[in-house]
Amino acid sequence: MHNTEEEEEKVILIGIDQGDDVYDAESSLDELYDLAKTAGAKCVGRMIQKREGVHRAHYFGKGKLEELKEYIKETGATGVICDDELTANQMRNMENILETKIMNRTLLILDIFAARAHSAEGKVQVELAQLKYSLSHLTGQGKSLSRLGGGIGTRGPGEKKLETDRRNISDRISELNKELKEIEKHRKVLREKRVKNKIPVIALAGYTNAGKSTLMNTITNAGVLEEDKLFATLDTTTRKVRLPSGAEYLFTDTVGFIQKLPHNLIKAFKSTLEEVKYADIILHVVDSSNFSRERHMKVVYETLNELGCEEKPIITVFNKIDKEEAVFPLPKDQRAIASQSISAKKRTGIAELLEKVENTVKSFKKRVEILIPYDKGGMVDFVHGNCEIVSSENTEKGFYFKIYVDNESYNRLQSFCLK
Ligand SMILES: Nc1nc2c(ncn2[C@@H]2O[C@H](COP(=O)(O)OP(=O)(O)OP(=O)(O)O)[C@@H](O)[C@H]2O)c(=O)[nH]1
Ligand SMILES: [Mg+2]
């Protein structure tokens, strides 16, 4: 999409309702609608089939597919967007039967990502994900995507072309992987510097459109892109903030999560998404006014687990409580160590939230008293560089400190601790 030749893509959204309660086909299609709109397409219709599972050959059953074909004619749709991942085979079969372009959720997300990636890292990640995607669908690319055309008579040279395509793509993939390694190295250096500086890192994570960037702006006045669009933020942004207590923190705004984010895509965006893994605290931002908020929370936790954040302290931030649609009571969140309801837009609950952040950071530390003998004076520098000092005094026996220490520093200072 984002096509200049075509004026506007008119699409029909399709999905399958398997009748289980965990997943709601209608609201998933609502989300697909937002994705399509964000990608610049106009939705002219939607169709859901109730069936036990996806039809192996062509997603919808035969009868429903015929109905869809009629619907396409009626509405003048130029394409169909499917809510699920399609195999190469399903895609080709559907294209042949419906004689129109078939897209799906993953392609849409990739398309939006492509339009929104600004940093070198973001761009490399998007291209990688796109190439991997087309590699896995190469055999099945029908009319719309393949430059070969299909069917009888094209098989010989077509197969050969396919092979060259595949090789070219693989070459480019390894090139991009190399680039990404370099970028990751750089990111790692930055991260290590942060660890050395001991500034606590707070990551804002959550479902797309939950209000992460708005909260980031409210906290930092950083001017991060905030839009009523899915995936407005694709590149992570980090800002240093001095909180009212005087302590400095780094706040990181991250890319939003979404349901049915294909595993491949999570892998491709791992270095961006992984920022949360190196945070000291995750602020899980939830759009309280969204009807599907609990499902969104579940998706976020699943994605966080996939990224290896099972042990991270999480503060759940119930955002947008100013909106009429926000329903109370808010859901219980057993996984979080604390929660706070706020309106990032109206700036309510922010002071309370920041206090919870600071208390959490403090709780990572022990309060101890130490005495460093004068002949171990070198350790005093260590204390100044690594600990939060409450008070200090030069006594007869040495340097006396009351301090807050994290575990690592505690290990080094343990022998100087007073009972
Ligand atoms: N009424 C209301 N709207 C809000 C609030 N917080 C955010 N919004 C709106 O919600 C929309 C999404 O906000 P963003 O901050 O871009 O959301 P995000 O989580 O960063 O989204 P992505 O970067 O797309 O994942 C914007 O239109 C915001 O103005 C709030 O507290 N109240
Ligand atoms: Mg954002």
pLDDT by residue (tens digit) across 89-126?
999 999 999 999 999 998 888 888 888 777 788 888 88
**Using CA atoms, how far apart are residues 67 and 46, in angstroms rounded to an integer?**
12
Instruction: Give the pLDDT mean for 148-156.
Output: 38
Q: Is residue 189 part of a domain?
A: no
User: Which residues are paired to 45 by β-bridges?
Assistant: 12
pTM of the model: 0.81
Q: Closest Cα to atom 30, ligand 1: which residue?
A: 320
- The confidence score (pLDDT) of residue 243 equals 82
Boundary (domain end) residue, out of 115, 132, 160: 115
Where a domain ends, among 115, 142, 162? 115
Residues 103 and 241 in one domain: no
Q: Which of 18-27, 50-59, 139-148 has the lowest mean pLDDT?
A: 139-148
Asked whether residue 236 falls in the same domain as residue 348, the answer is yes
> What is the rounded distance in angstroms from the CA atom of residue 304 to the CA atom of residue 311?
10
Pairing, β 248-253 against β 201-206: parallel
Are 404 and 353 in the same domain? no
For ligand 1, pick from 38, 113, 208, 226 the residue to mutate: most ligand atoms within 8 Å of CB: 226
One-character DSSP codes across 23-59: --HHHHHHHHHHHHHHTTEEEEEEEEEE-SS-BTTTB
- The pLDDT, as a whole number, for residue 152 is 36
Q: Is 356 inside a domain boundary?
A: yes
The closest residue, in CA terms, to atom 6 on ligand 1 is 211
Mean pLDDT of the chain: 86
Residue type, 192: E
CA 185 to chain centroid, in Å, comes to 21
> Are both 211 and 318 inside the same structural domain?
yes
Inside any domain, residue 2: no
CATH of the domain at 290: 3.40.50.300
Task: Indicate whether 338 and 230 sit together in one domain.
Answer: yes
Q: Are 11 and 101 in contact (CB under 8 A)?
A: no
Three-state SS annotation for 125-161: HHHHHHHHHHHHHHHHCCCCCCCCCCCCCCHHHHHHH
pLDDT at 231 > cutoff 70 = no
229 and 335 assigned to the same domain? yes
Angle between helices 120-137 and 105-116 (to 10 degrees): 150
- Do 156 and 254 share a domain, yes or no? no
Q: Residue 141 has what pLDDT?
A: 45
- Is 191 domain-assigned? no
Q: Residues lining ligand 1, CB < 6 A?
A: 206, 208-214, 226-233, 256, 319-320, 322-323, 343-345
H-run or E-run covering 367: strand 366-372
Range with the poorest average pLDDT among 74-88, 231-245, 249-263: 231-245
406: left (phi over 0), alpha (psi -120 to 50) or beta: beta
Task: Specify whether 303 is located in the same domain as 222.
Answer: yes
Q: Ligand 1, closest atom to CA 217? A: 15
What pLDDT, in 10s, does the model give residues 42-87? Answer: 999 999 999 999 999 999 999 999 999 999 999 999 999 999 999 9
CA of 54 to the centre of ligand 2 (A): 33
Residue closest by Cα to atom 13 of ligand 1:
211
Asked which of 69, 95, 115 is the last residue of a domain, the reply is: 115
Residue 237 has a pLDDT of 82
Flag whether pLDDT at 290 surpasses 90: yes
- pLDDT for res 2: 52
pLDDT in tens, 390-401: 899 999 999 999
Ligand in closest contact with the CA of 206: 1
**How many domains are contained in the chain?**
4
In this structure, the dihedral spanned by the alpha carbons of residues 318, 321, 325 and 330, taken in order and rounded to 10 degrees, is 40
Asked whether residue 369 carries a pLDDT value surpassing 50, the answer given is yes
Structural domain of residue 121, as residue ranges? 117-182
What whole-number distance in Å separates Cα of residue 399 and Cα of residue 308? 42
- Angle CA(280)–CA(284)–CA(290) in degrees, nearest 5? 175
Q: Which residue has the tokens 């190295």?
A: 185
